Structure 1
Amino acid sequence: MLYAQTPAHEKRRLFRERLATGELLRFPGAFNPLSARLIERKGFEGVYISGAVLSADLGLPDIGLTTLTEVAARGQQIARQTELPAIIDADTGFGEPMNVARTIQTLEDAGIAGAHIEDQVNPKRCGHLDGKAVVDEDTALKRIRAAVDARRDPNFLVMARTDIRAVDGLDAATDRARKLVDAGADAIFPEAMRTLEEFAAVREAVDVPILANMTEFGKSDLFTVDQLRDVGVNIVIWPVSLLRIAMGAAERALDTLIDEGHLTSRLGEMQHRADLYDLIDYESYNHFDTNVFTFRIDR
């Protein structure tokens, strides 16, 4: 009832233990707290919280317009609804190294298990768009050092994302990945890799976990979990997929209302009321107040 029973520090510890096994962990992107519960119920290993989704949820493009306060608040709402660890997109850290430090501690307080800080110039843009610019090596390393120095829980995962592949090529990406690890990064997120061989090259370059971003309509092909496991990927995310599917369904429903005047033909596509109430654990609230749950729902 209410929120997850596993404390944040325990989620982080269990996550780091599982990550250390070398297995591939699947982190679908949650677009709200309820979808995080569904991800857990379906048996996935973690929840990803995308900056692009948080921006889109506010009706904004993913160009660094969201604030730390907005991201941390939404991250907390999502993370506390699941027993799974949550990794969040912290963009460029919301400022200079001191801002990065504050970002990490704020996200720790929000119950997040880990965050990635990227090396784009601020204002950033979506990692799979053209025209990106990255900061110089010194600035990128300072961001990661600040993040590592600021965390109070050593199990909070500091992941370094590098977008340099799209700017200067694969060799630059593997070189920067090595230096980010030397700066203290616990994991590497090489953005916009184009082939499995490129993921394999990053895997060869560093001895920490690496993440693959399987976002639709981007630079990377949509590789399978098995393909990514075979080249040594440790975490795979589908950051915007559930939002895209939900918004596509919403648009089709609105078109049906316009065309037919009702949604009878769409009932089979909807989550049943009984399934929704089960997912939000409605019946358990009866333990606190017998006047809350006084009905039955027939399918």
Structure 2
Amino acid sequence: MYGNGKTANGLAPRTAAARLRELLHQDDHITVCPGVYDGITARIALQAGFDCLYMTGAGTAASRLGMPDLGVVTMNDMATNAAMIASLDRTVPLIADADTGYGGPLMISRTVKSYIAGGVAGLHLEDQVVSKRCGHLLGKEVVDQETFISRIRAAVIAREEMRKDLGDAGDIVLIARTDALQANGFEDALQRLQEAIEAGADVAFLEGPTNVEQCRIVCQKFAPIPVLLNMVPGGVTPTLTGNEAKEAGFKVMIHPGCMSFAVQQSCGEVVSELKKTGAVKTPPGTSPRDFFTLCGLQECIELDKRVGGKAYSSV
């Protein structure tokens, strides 16, 4: 990297947001994102070879606070976690939940700028009230349409300011999410998304469609604008495979609960066995070194060697 921010061939490096935009606009392609919430789950997803990751707000609340997704996490909780995950592999873009933006326009601006500074490729803002809840729980309340659009405008202005200061490095993909379907009906939800796209959002996100026809309609209405599908097992949306979601017209699909639910089940089985027998059966080939290799052990060793160190030569 040269002092002018260019690479040796004279071109600016692709940012995480630029890579995400490329994925979202590939023909006949859907980007499937596993829901991660900490360094371990992110490393597992990266090892599996996913093109894009999604940081779940529910998983962040559960892992950092041990609390349900009821609007208890703060911007600092989310931005810090997102920046850590984004840093693990700068070549793989991260989409992160940003809930309601955590306050009014000034706070939303701060949230967007913090996510950009942390290397996050995309975020979604929603129209629930500040004391929100998981999108697949009942009893959601949403703000009025003008308040929602003011949130999107604040995010767009914050991005413009960062682009002015940082160029392409100040970019982020803005995803407008509406939870109005449950409270106000399908037409109101579509209208909110239309207004959000006109205000500068890049992606439309209808939370909680209850049938495949609603999925098809929202994708058709906004094409060629990318539309995101949130797939939550046991939620209100019918289960679709990646190919089925692509056929419906979606360009990106997030699975926020895939890691959380797997951890709940597998860890529950392990501790039950430990409680019952006083011992744990580990799969063949499992060792501390295997686990640390997942977490970047070899890269750490190589860096130490490059600077002339020998601290980890016998690890």
- Out of 24, 27, 35, the position equivalent to 1:19 is 24
* Residue identity matched to 2:146: D
Q: Distance in 1 between matches of 2:285 and 2:108?
A: 41
Task: State how 1:45-194 maps to structure 2 within 5 Å.
Answer: 45-57=51-63, 58-82=65-89, 83-151=91-159, 152-153=162-163, 155-194=171-210
Q: Which runs of 5+ in 1 are unaligned?
A: 1-6
- Corresponding residue for residue 239 of structure 1: 256
CA deviations on 1:58-83 (whole Å, 9 max, x unpaired) are 11121111111111111111111123
Q: Aligned with 2:283: secondary structure?
A: helix
Q: Aligned with 2:72: secondary structure?
A: coil
- Out of 171, 195, 198, the position equivalent to 2:214 is 198
Number of equivalences: 287
Give the direction of change, closer, same or farther, for the CA distance of 1:73–1:9 in structure 2 (3 Å limit): farther
Q: 2:210–2:238: 8 Å Cα contact kept in structure 1?
A: yes
TM-score (norm 2): 0.86
Q: Aligned with 1:268: secondary structure?
A: coil
Q: Distance in 2 between matches of 1:293 and 1:66?
A: 41
Q: Percent identity?
A: 31
Higher mean C-alpha deviation, range 48-57 or range 274-283: 274-283
Task: State the 1:8 CA deviation.
Answer: 9.5
Give the direction of change, closer, same or farther, for the CA distance of 1:257–1:147 in structure 2 (3 Å limit): same
Q: Distance in 1 between matches of 2:15 and 2:82?
A: 17
* Residue identity matched to 1:279: L
Residue 282 of structure 1 pairs with residue 297 of structure 2: yes
Q: Aligned with 1:218: secondary structure?
A: coil
Residue 223 of structure 1 pairs with residue 234 of structure 2: no
Give the direction of change, closer, same or farther, for the CA distance of 1:248–1:161 in structure 2 (3 Å limit): same
Q: Aligned with 2:88: secondary structure?
A: coil
CA deviations on 1:259-283 (whole Å, 9 max, x unpaired) are 111013xx12885444323322323
Q: Which runs of 5+ in 2 are unaligned?
A: 1-11, 164-169
Q: Distance in 1 between matches of 2:239 and 2:313?
A: 44
* Residue identity matched to 1:252: E
Moved over 3 A (4+): 269-275
Q: Distance in 2 between matches of 1:269 and 1:72?
A: 37
Task: State the 1:224 CA deviation.
Answer: 0.5
Task: State the 1:197 CA deviation.
Answer: 1.3
CA deviations on 1:73-125 (whole Å, 9 max, x unpaired) are 11111111123111111110000112111110011111111110000112111
